Structure 1
Amino acid sequence: MSGSVTTKTSEYQGTPVVPGVGYAPVIRPAPRPVPPADEVTVAEDEREAEVARLRDAAAVVGGRLKDRAALATGSASEVLAANAAMAEDRGWLSPAVKQVKNGAGAVVAVSVATGKLANTLATLGGRMAERTTDLYDIRDRVIAELLGLPEPGVPTPTAPSILLAEDLAPADTAGLDASLVVGLATSLGGPTSHTAIIARQLGIPCIVAVTGLDDIESGTLVMVDGTTGLVVVDPDPDTANTAVAESKSHLEQVSQWEGPGRTADGHLVDVLANVQDGAGARAASSTAAEGIGLFRTELSFLDRDTEPTVDEQAEIYSQVLDAFDGKKVVIRTLDAGSDKPMRFANHPDEANPALGVRGIRIAEGNRGILYRQLDAIAAAAETTGSAPWVMAPMIATASEAEAFAADVRERGLKPGVMIEVPAAALLADRILDHVDFLSIGTNDLAQYTMAADRMSANLAGLTDPWQPAVLTLVAKTAEAGARVGKPVGVCGEAAADPLLACVLVGFGVTSLSAASAAVAGVGAKLESVTLDQCRRAAAAVLTTSSTEEARAAATAILG
């Protein structure tokens, strides 16, 4: 249908997440179910049946999400599996059951119990606050099941469409058909939100944190430019179609990149993939990725009530090592805590989990969890004949790095640590006295450097990886590695941005690890510029004072 300008403003600026251009009519998610306002008290002799109805609905929703997780890959599979577990989580289900036993109807009980838990998560902030979107999605799916309504969520378009929404639950984003949803923009979310990460995996041009997006009506023709972060309402059709064609041509050229990672003048840079399990590693092995720069081991255990045995862990690790036989594989030990609590890790209740006991800090109260994981990695290495690199998350001091390195070397493995805490970046030279490599996690480094929740739409500008303060810490870390001849990689979402990847190489970063879908774009961009250009762009970025200035400075030199 013909589009129309719905407000006086024809352009809306957001935070660019996935490059590319889409032009099509707008679609929006279907309304969420509205619980009846006049639900009566359940009679005492009917309450057990109502409890059973509630539990059955939660089980059905969880089962559907598990089925979708089994069919998905990469980050989409990861978040769907986490949401499946949330559908039957005792944190909201037990209070809901208690309310039903006291006479409340199942629909009201679900709404009240999830609302209370969501308020708690929002108050905690950090990564925990992001889970409120997931929880509300579970609430709506369970209520729809109780009321006999269709599942809520994104409609399946019959023609290419642009999806606009306040926010999207992972279950909605993971189910998108990239051939029909040709662009995506949300009012909420940040550059490292689930929506952004899955959109990158699917290759859908995406913008988040767009102010005023709700003003654009369904059916309006819009252009989404995931490179500049612009949503343009009712653009000139010829201009929009030309932009789409040029974007597709560029992406087709990029997809032909086969590696290895290097600049135009031959400077080698490892271009690697991030994975979470054997299936993800096998999928990554079909791309030009030269190895694995981040194996997120904790994501295989999110739904476990008990700690996996050493043999069970070794089998999972072996699958990843086999997928990249003879190539570089970097394994991160359990990054549990915060938004990824492990039921078997006995996490303490904390006012701010993102600043609490997470990552390597879990081992302080239970060294056995770390030792058994390292034993499993060593067993997998022996079985596969591999030599994996092993790194710890959330290292903050040189003494923590020293202790971890000793445990890793004791098992004949190569030790390294993540640089996610500003303190670790500032003392990278001292940490390198004890380990063989560093890997910078720019997602958390941005959050902790800028004192801003990386999942907050209101603070998305602060947690943008182009923040000069964040890049200054990255540069300092890379410089420390170069002085002693030890590799320094980046495995945060910053490594998936082709332009920023060149800047990182200019700092002295030796490897870049990103979602499999981003590997070709990063490699192709590197191949189009020289090391001198990268270094000049890096120097220029460090003189800027805002993300806009930083991007502009890099673009002026790198194109």
Structure 2
Amino acid sequence: MELRGVGVGLGMAIGPVLRMPDPLPDPDDDQRTADAAEELGRVTEALAAVAAELRSRAAAAGGEAQEVLEATALMAEDPMLLDEVRTRIDAGSTGERAVFDAIATFRATLTAMGGYMAERAADLGDVSQRAQARLRGVPAPGVPESDTPFVLVAADLAPADTAMLDLEKVLALVTSEGGPTSHTAILARAKSIPAIVGVGGAAELVDSTMVLVDAAAGTVIVAPSDEQRAEAERAIAERASRAAAPLTPGALADGTSVPLLANLGNPDEAKHAVDLGAEGVGLFRTEFLFLGEAEAPSVERQREAYSRLLQAFEGKKVVVRVLDAGADKPLAFLSDAHEENPALGLRGIRVLRQRETVLRDQLTALQQAAEQAPGTELWVMAPMVSDVEETEYFVELAKSLGLRTVGVMAEVPSLAVLAEQVVAACDFVSIGTNDLTQYTLAADRLLGSVASFQDPWHPAVLRMIKLLGDAGNAAGTPVGVCGEAAADPRLAVVLVGLGVTTLSMTPAALADVRAELATVTLDEARGRAERALGARSAADARAAASAPA
């Protein structure tokens, strides 16, 4: 039997199924007998403990996981949540029931919003489970323990669990929910765990069943044959051999240079990226400095963090994205206004323009850090830029503060439509394929029910990228990709064929992409891109790009 879903990465694994335990049962709907103040005190302590635990896991995990977990910790500390709990306790609910009902109400609201906020609803569900466990004095449901390696099967995984997976035991992840850019998928890719999300039939898999997980194909083969297992073992060995190959600069078979850069979320990740062959940084996310803060960090604190990063990549290029707040990363000191659809609201450069002091301080800190690391080439870019007017605003401001190389992220289709204007107004463009796919296909990037649309192989998305690549090449403006699409080796070849000049990805994907690029010439990459552009769907584009010329 074969089950299908959305694959994350190219890895394969063979092993027995071990399912996540069921969540805690709903609390009884009894009336409280304890004093209201006492009950509220118990809940306050429980939520504070959950937040502290999540922050501890965040610090241990680092990177993208740290951002996600710190944002989840903020949910546990939300004053509005505690107010809702207090109201329910005053009305007679027990602490357990008040927490359960209050969080259920907030989850329903977030789910109705869709997109980023719908994905946060799943994270809030984890807060509920952990708080319930604290109040009941029982362990919170989590990843099961095993003496032998296994394939973890679940409805979905909370970020706190995904971030702390034991890579010696967990061979692969299979979930029935989630999309290719859900937190589960993103963290699995960062940890190099083969994963398939949105798998129909995953709920029927039982413990100890042997499965073959093929992330590249997006398939879970139940009870694989001896022949299928032998073929998979050969593929796993070949991939391990590629990962162990000598580190070389990214290049095509004809010698065309394609620098391979890393996506990072914290200076502490720099050494690992360099060890895996990163030739620089194509996307450094700065949100880790801002999440969980009551006010924006000082220029001095920011400068120290940026300096550590730049010094770790001396002699190389480092592309820093200024604060990308809003949507799933709301920050009270920027805006506390409620938005019905925050993915289409005040986020990225839009909110920074309204709080220009925050942006000026960040750019000032970056300039000071660059002065302390003269051997590193600092590039700075703005997120969620929509048109040439926003481009000119950011470029002029950054250069007035002494920064030399200033660009924008292409995540909104309007920027691709206006590509010729935009590339003439900035020094470089970096394509964020996660959001570009979401907005091009009108499909929430974190909503599993529309996962089939969240595919950067779609010809509509590829045509947007080609508009940017063509305009950049004509103007001599570099155009890179820093979205998750760059981590797909076969799609990486197509991106180069569309005119992309650099690729930036999670460091775990560097070896696979490097090996795939070395198998084609620039003409062959262009041929694959042309065939993909003419396809009618994402699946057809994949097939067309892989077919013989």
CA drift at 1:465: 1.0
Whether the aligned pair in 1 keeps the contact of 2:62 and 2:266 (CA below 8 Å) is no
- Per the alignment, residue 354 of structure 1 pairs with 343
Report matched runs for 1:49-68 at 5 Å. 49-68=38-57
- 5 Å-filtered alignment, 1:26-425, equals 26-43=17-34, 46-385=35-374, 386-413=376-403, 414-425=405-416
Instruction: Assess if the C-alpha contact under 8 Å between 2:162 and 2:184 holds in 1.
Output: yes
Alpha-carbon deviation of 1:381?
A: 1.0
- For residues 124 and 91 of structure 1, the distance between their equivalents in structure 2, rounded to whole angstroms, comes to 18
Q: For residue 309 of structure 1, report the CA deviation from its aligned partner.
A: 1.1
What corresponds to 1:483 in structure 2? 474
Deviations 1:28-64 (A, max 9, x none): 1111111332532234xx2222112111111222222
Q: 1:95 to 1:33 in 2, by over 3 A?
A: same
Give me the whole-angstrom Cα distance separating, in 1, the residues matched to 2:214 and 2:312.
35
Distance apart, 1:383 and its partner CA: 2.0
- Specify every segment of 5 or more residues in structure 2 that has no aligned partner in the other structure, as ranges: none
Report the CA distance between 1:153 and its aligned residue: 1.6
Q: Are the structure 2 counterparts of residues 68 and 445 from structure 1 closer, same or farther at C-alpha, using a change threshold of 3 Å?
A: same
Instruction: Check conservation: 1:16, 1:228, Cα contact below 8 A.
Output: yes
RMSD between aligned residues? 1.5
Measure the CA separation in 1 of the matches of 2:233 and 2:66: 29
Q: Please, which moves more after superposition, 331-340 or 527-536?
A: 527-536
Query: Which of 475, 484, 490 is residue 493 of structure 1 equivalent to?
Result: 484
Could you tell me how far 1:557 is from its partner in structure 2?
4.3
Cα 1:439–1:257 shift into 2, 3 Å: farther
Q: 1:425 Cα deviation (Å)?
A: 0.6
Give the structure 1 partner of residue 439 of structure 2: 448
Cα distance in 2, alignment partners of residues 274 and 101 from structure 1: 48
TM-superposed CA distance for 1:101, in Å, is 3.7
Cα distance in 1 for partners of 2:137, 2:31 equals 18
| CA displacement at 1:254 relative to structure 2 | 2.9
Answer with 241-250 or 334-343: which moved more.
Answer: 241-250
Partners of 1:536 and 1:557 within 8 A in 2: no
Residues of 2 paired with 1:194 and 1:257: CA distance? 32
Counterparts in 2 of 1:107 and 1:268: CA distance versus 1, 3 Å:
same
* Alignment partner, residue 7 of structure 2: 16
Deviation at 1:185, TM superposition (A): 1.3
Aligned-partner Cα distance in 2 for 1:372–1:362: 15
Aligned partners of 2:10 and 2:216 also within 8 Å = yes
Alignment-derived partner of residue 472 in structure 1? 463
Matching residue's letter, 2:211: V
Structure 1: how far apart are the matches of 2:80 and 2:450? Answer: 28
Contact 1:264 1:527 in 2 (8 A): yes
How much does 1:230 deviate? 0.6
- Say which SS state the counterpart of residue 547 (structure 2) adopts: helix
* Alpha-carbon distance, 1:238 to partner: 3.9
Query: Which one of the candidate residues 537, 541, 544 is aligned to 1:550?
Result: 541
Deviations, residues 113-164 of structure 1 (Å, cap 9, x unaligned):
1111111111111211100110001100110111111121220222121111
Contact 1:533 1:557 in 2 (8 A): no
Q: Does 1:537 align with 2:528?
A: yes
The one-character-per-residue Cα deviations of 1:308-366 (angstroms, maximum 9, x if unpaired) are 11111111111211111121000111110000011211242111110010000002322
Deviates more, 1:312-321 or 1:254-263: 254-263
Query: How far, CA to CA, are the matches of 2:262 and 2:190 in structure 1?
Result: 12
Deviates more, 1:492-501 or 1:55-64: 55-64
Distance (whole Å) between structure 1 residues aligned to residue 91 and residue 473 of structure 2: 65
Tell me, yes or no, if the aligned pair for 1:282 and 1:320 is still in contact at 8 Å: no
Per the alignment, in what secondary structure is the counterpart of residue 343 of structure 1? coil
Partners of 2:509 and 2:480 in 1: CA distance: 16
Report how far residue 257 of structure 1 moved: 4.5
My pick for the range that moved more, 444-453 or 297-306, is: 297-306
* Separation (CA, whole Å) in 2 of partners of 1:255 and 1:207: 25
Distance between the aligned counterparts of 2:497 and 2:469, measured in 1? 10
SS of residue paired to 2:304: helix
Q: Which residue identity does 2:317 align to in structure 1? A: K
Tell me how far 1:256 sits from its aligned partner: 2.2
Runs of at least 4 residues off by over 6 Å: none
1:539: how far off? 0.7
> Structure 2 counterpart of 1:244, which letter?
E
CA distance in structure 1 between the aligned counterparts of 2:306 and 2:314, rounded to whole angstroms: 12
The number of aligned residues is: 547
More displaced stretch, 549-558 vs 465-474: 549-558
Instruction: Pick from 449, 463, 482 the counterpart of residue 458 of structure 1.
Output: 449
Aligned partners of 1:518 and 1:448: how far apart in 2?
Answer: 25
Measure the CA separation in 2 of the matches of 1:248 and 1:262.
23
The answer to whether the 8 A contact 1:185-1:208 is kept is: yes
Moved more, 15-24 or 140-149: 15-24
- Of 500-509 and 63-72, more deviation after overlay is shown by 63-72
> Does structure 2 retain, via aligned residues, the 8 Å contact 1:294–1:491?
yes
8 Å CA contact 2:67, 2:291 repeated in 1: no
Identity of aligned residues (%): 46
Normalised to the residue count of structure 1, the TM-score between the two structures is 0.95
Q: Unaligned 5+ residue runs, structure 1?
A: 1-9
Give the Cα separation in 2 of the matches to 1:361 and 1:67: 32
Instruction: Output the CA distance in 2 between the equivalents of 1:309 and 1:482.
Output: 39
Q: Secondary structure at the match of 1:354?
A: helix
